[in-house]
C-alpha cells in the first residue's frame, strides 16, 4: 500500500466531508493536526510528510465520526472559549461564541480589581467561570452544575489554567449554594424547547439533553432561576442570563415580575437579543 502525504490525506478527507459540513477542509486539517501533532504552517507549506499506517488508521476512525455528523470539538476533545482552549466531553455543552456576550457584559459592568463574589450556575465545561476567573483574579467565583460528570471536566479545565479562585459545587440551581450571597449571578441555562424550530439538530443530537432542553417552550429553567436568584443576590446585585433570541420578552416579564430593575438586553452579531441582565432593588 502506498502511504499518502499529509496534504494528500487532507485533500481526500476534505472531499469525503464536503457533503456533511460547510468547512470540510478546515475539519480535515484539524483532525490531521490533532492525530499527527503537526502545526498549521507545516500543513499549509505542503511539506511532503508521509503518514504511517498507525496514523492512517486513527485518521480514518476520526474521519468516520466527523462524517457521521459528530462535532469536531467532541472528536478532538477541545473547544476554544474566550481564547482559552477548553476540554469538552459528551457530558458538557460545546461552549458557543455567543456566550462570550455574557462575559463581555460582566467586564463592562464591573471593575476587574473589585472583590466580587460571582456565581456561575450550570457551568458545564467551566467556560464562563474560567473566562471570568482570568479577567477578575481578585473575585471569588463559585461554579455549579447538577451534572457531576460536567463538573469533573470543569475542574480539569480550571486546573489547566491555574484558576485558584474558582470553587465547584453540585446541585439543582440555587440549592447548590444555600445561604450564600453574590454580587453577580451569571447563567447560560438550558433554554431550548423540545420542538424549537431553530434547533440545530445536527450538532445538538451529540450534546447532553440536560444542557440543552427545558420544558415550557424552553422557559422552565429560566423561570426557576429568576424566581430563586433574588435570595442569593446582594443589594444591587446583577443577574445575567443567556436565552434564545425569541425569549427576550418572556425573560423581561419574569424579571419585572420578580421586581428586578435596570433590565438590559445584549445582542449577538446578527442583532438578535441573546443576553438579558437586571439588578436587584435592595
Ligand atoms: C447550556 S449549558 C451551559 C454550559 C456552560 N455554562 C456554557 O455556557 O457552555 C447548561 C448547563 O446547566 C446544567 N444544568 C441543567 N440543569 C441544571 C440544574 N437543575 N441545576 C444546575 N445545573 C443544571 C447542565 O448540566 C449544563 O451544564
Interval 87-132: pLDDT, tens: 999 999 999 999 999 999 999 988 766 779 999 999 999 999 999 9
Instruction: Judge if the beta carbon of residue 145 lies within 6 A of ligand 1.
Output: yes
Cα–Cα distance, 68 to 251 (Å, whole number): 36
Residue nearest to atom 26 of ligand 1 (CA): 211
Atom of ligand 1 nearest to the CA of 147: 25
Give tens-digit pLDDT for 231-255. 999 999 999 999 999 999 999 999 9
Asked if the model's pLDDT at residue 282 lies above 80, the reply is no
Give tens-digit pLDDT for 125-179. 999 999 999 999 999 999 999 999 999 999 999 999 999 999 999 999 999 999 9
Give the number of C-alpha atoms closer than 13 A to the C-alpha of residue 202, restricted to the C-beta side.
11
Residue 199 pLDDT grade (very low, low, confident, very high; cuts 50, 70, 90): confident
Q: Cβ(185)–Cβ(154) under 8 Å?
A: no
In this predicted structure, what is the pLDDT of residue 163? 94
Instruction: Judge if the beta carbon of residue 119 lies within 6 A of ligand 1.
Output: no
> Which of residues 48 and 33 earns the better pLDDT score?
33
Residue nearest to atom 2 of ligand 1 (CA): 211
Q: Under DSSP, is residue 187 helix (H, G, I), strand (E, B) or coil?
A: strand
Asked if the model's pLDDT at residue 85 lies above 90, the reply is yes
In this predicted structure, what is the pLDDT of residue 175? 98
Instruction: Judge if the beta carbon of residue 123 lies within 6 A of ligand 1.
Output: yes
Instruction: Give the Å distance between the CA of 148 and the centre of ligand 1.
Output: 11
Instruction: Judge if the beta carbon of residue 210 lies within 6 A of ligand 1.
Output: yes
Cα–Cα distance, 243 to 259 (Å, whole number): 19
Instruction: Give the Å distance between the CA of 186 and the centre of ligand 1.
Output: 11
User: Residue range 37-61: average pLDDT?
Assistant: 90
> Which of residues 41 and 176 earns the better pLDDT score?
176
Cα–Cα distance, 165 to 40 (Å, whole number): 34
Instruction: Give the Å distance between the CA of 220 and the centre of ligand 1.
Output: 13
Instruction: Mark 121-144 as b/e (b = at least 16 C-beta within 10 Å).
Output: bbbbbbbbbbbbbeebeebbbbbb
In this predicted structure, what is the pLDDT of residue 15? 97
Instruction: Judge if the beta carbon of residue 172 lies within 6 A of ligand 1.
Output: yes
> Which of residues 111 and 205 earns the better pLDDT score?
205
Cα–Cα distance, 282 to 273 (Å, whole number): 27
Atom of ligand 1 nearest to the CA of 187: 6
Residue 48 pLDDT grade (very low, low, confident, very high; cuts 50, 70, 90): confident
Ordered domains of the chain (ranges, CATH) = 6-69 (1.10.8.10), 91-279 (3.40.50.150)
Amino acid at each position: 500500500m502506498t502511504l499518502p502525504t499529509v496534504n494528500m490525506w487532507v485533500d481526500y478527507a476534505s472531499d469525503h466531508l464536503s457533503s456533511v459540513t460547510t468547512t470540510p477542509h478546515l475539519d480535515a486539517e484539524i483532525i490531521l493536526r490533532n492525530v499527527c501533532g503537526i502545526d498549521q504552517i507545516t500543513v499549509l507549506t505542503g511539506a511532503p510528510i508521509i503518514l504511517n499506517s498507525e496514523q492512517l488508521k486513527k485518521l480514518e476512525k476520526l474521519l468516520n465520526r466527523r462524517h457521521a455528523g459528530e462535532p469536531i470539538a467532541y472528536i478532538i476533545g477541545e473547544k476554544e472559549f474566550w481564547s482559552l482552549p477548553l476540554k469538552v466531553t459528551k457530558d458538557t455543552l460545546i461552549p458557543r461564541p455567543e456566550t462570550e456576550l455574557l462575559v463581555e457584559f460582566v467586564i463592562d459592568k464591573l471593575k476587574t480589581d473589585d472583590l466580587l463574589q460571582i456565581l456561575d450556575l450550570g457551568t458545564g465545561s467551566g467556560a464562563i467561570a474560567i473566562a471570568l476567573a482570568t479577567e477578575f483574579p481578585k473575585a471569588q467565583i463559585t461554579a455549579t452544575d447538577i451534572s457531576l460528570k460536567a463538573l469533573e471536566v470543569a475542574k480539569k479545565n480550571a486546573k489547566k489554567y491555574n484558576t485558584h479562585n474558582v470553587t465547584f459545587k453540585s446541585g439543582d440551581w440555587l440549592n447548590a449554594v444555600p445561604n450564600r450571597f453574590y454580587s453577580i449571578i451569571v447563567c447560560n441555562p438550558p433554554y431550548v424547547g423540545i420542538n424549537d424550530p431553530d434547533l440545530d439538530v445536527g450538532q445538538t443530537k451529540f450534546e447532553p439533553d440536560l444542557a440543552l432542553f427545558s420544558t415550557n417552550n424552553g422557559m422552565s429553567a429560566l423561570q426557576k432561576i429568576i424566581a430563586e436568584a433574588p435570595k442569593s443576590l446582594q443589594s444591587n446585585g446583577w443577574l445575567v442570563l443567556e436565552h434564545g433570541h425569541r425569549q427576550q420578552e418572556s425573560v423581561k416579564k419574569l424579571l419585572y415580575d420578580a421586581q428586578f430593575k435596570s433590565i438590559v438586553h445584549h445582542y449577538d452579531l446578527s442583532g438578535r437579543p441573546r443576553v438579558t441582565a437586571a439588578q436587584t432593588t435592595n
